Amino acid sequence: MVYGKLSGDKEYVRRFSAYRIIEHIALIALFAALAATGLSQKFYALGVSQSLIAVLGGIDSVRFLHHLAGALFTALVAQHVLLNFWGIVYRQWEPSMLVNFNDFVDALHNVRYYIGIADRPAVRARYNYKEKFIYWLILLGGIQMIVTGFILWFPVAATKYFPGQFIPASKVVHTNEAMLIFLLVAIWHIYDSMFSPDVFPLDKSIFIGYSEKKRFERRLAEPENEAGAKNRELQRR
């Protein structure tokens, strides 16, 4: 972990690099664009959807914007996967998002915490199991959306390689998965980074790159575990 001072007396902990900040902002923009243009198509009968479709210039124009945002999202996901794969394999980047044994231990510990057996929740220094869970759900769900999205975008081309039934099936996956991811973000991610008592009113770290040391102290005070020690070892090099 890198310690530093941004301004004033508060001490900060460096959490995200500029690259991750830009990546996240791009993701927010594309997620919003895809959700707005996609959900208005899913719930086309609602008045608000129809108003949005009218404002954006008709259903054909909404579909064009959805395809455009989808293509950019595909690029974003592709660079993320390729770059991280390259970094981890060839540049010894810390594979901090990989799920490991401790995550299951933490999850079990948290069950005990929530039913009142344990006093404190599981704490993990860099990314806890909840953060990893949402990351993987969004990444894998996103890839699923990309695949089904392209099938729906080019149905004739898709039926050259797949049976015709793949198209309605893709539609079912695309529309339901979209809803799933949307609810996941709307319920869990927004809670975790905005309304959770730990971070309320907003966990700014993903935008400024730093976390307040005071707020992060609980995580830092945690005793080292095996994987964490290894990670830190890797980071020092």
Partner 1 sequence: MSDTPAKLFFMEKDDKIEAGVLGEGLLFSAVGSRYRLSQRGDGVRAAKCILYVVFIFCLVLHARPSYAQERAAGEEKRQCLRCHSEKNSVKKFPDGDFVSTYVDSVALDKSVHRSLPCTACHVDFSALSHPDRAFRNKLQYRIRESHGCRHCHTDRVIRSRAIHEALFKKEGSGEAVICTDCHSAHAVARITGGNVSTSEDNYCLRCHAFENRMRFRNGEFRSIRVDVAEFRDSPHRNVGCSDCHFGFSAQEHPDRRFSSERTYRLSSAEICKRCHFDKYSKISESIHYSMLNSGRLDAPTCIDCHGSHAVLSLSRSRLSVVQKCKACHSGIYEIYARSVHGSALFKENNKDVPICIDCHSSHSIKDPSSSEFHDYIPDLCSKCHSNAAIMGKYGLSVDVVKSYLADFHGVTLGLYRKEAQKRYRADRPMAVCTDCHGTHGITNVSGADLLTIKKNLRKRCHTCHTNATENFPDAWLSHYKPSLRVAPLVFIVEEFYKLMMPLMVIGLLFQVFLDIWRYFASR
Which residue ranges make up the site for partner 1 (CB under 8 A)? 41, 44, 50, 53-54, 57-60, 113-114, 116, 119-121, 155-156, 159-160, 162-169, 171-173, 176-177, 179-180, 183-184, 187-188, 191, 196-198
User: Which residue, 69 or 152, is less far from partner 1 as judged by CB?
Assistant: 152
User: Which residue, 3 or 114, is less far from partner 1 as judged by CB?
Assistant: 114
- Other C-beta atoms closer than 10 Å to the C-beta of 58 total 11
Handedness of CA 12, 17, 22, 26 (dihedral sign): negative
User: Which residue, 130 or 209, is less far from partner 1 as judged by CB?
Assistant: 130
Minimum distance of partner 1 from residue 51's CB (angstroms):
11
Residue 7's Cβ-count burial label (10 Å; 0-12, 13-18, 19+) is: exposed
Minimum distance of partner 1 from residue 176's CB (angstroms):
4
Minimum distance of partner 1 from residue 118's CB (angstroms):
9
Distance between CA atoms of residues 94 and 109, nearest Å: 25
> Can you read off the two tokens belonging to residue 136?
């993987």
Measured CA angle at 199 (ends 105, 22), to 5 deg: 90
User: Which residue, 198 or 224, is less far from partner 1 as judged by CB?
Assistant: 198
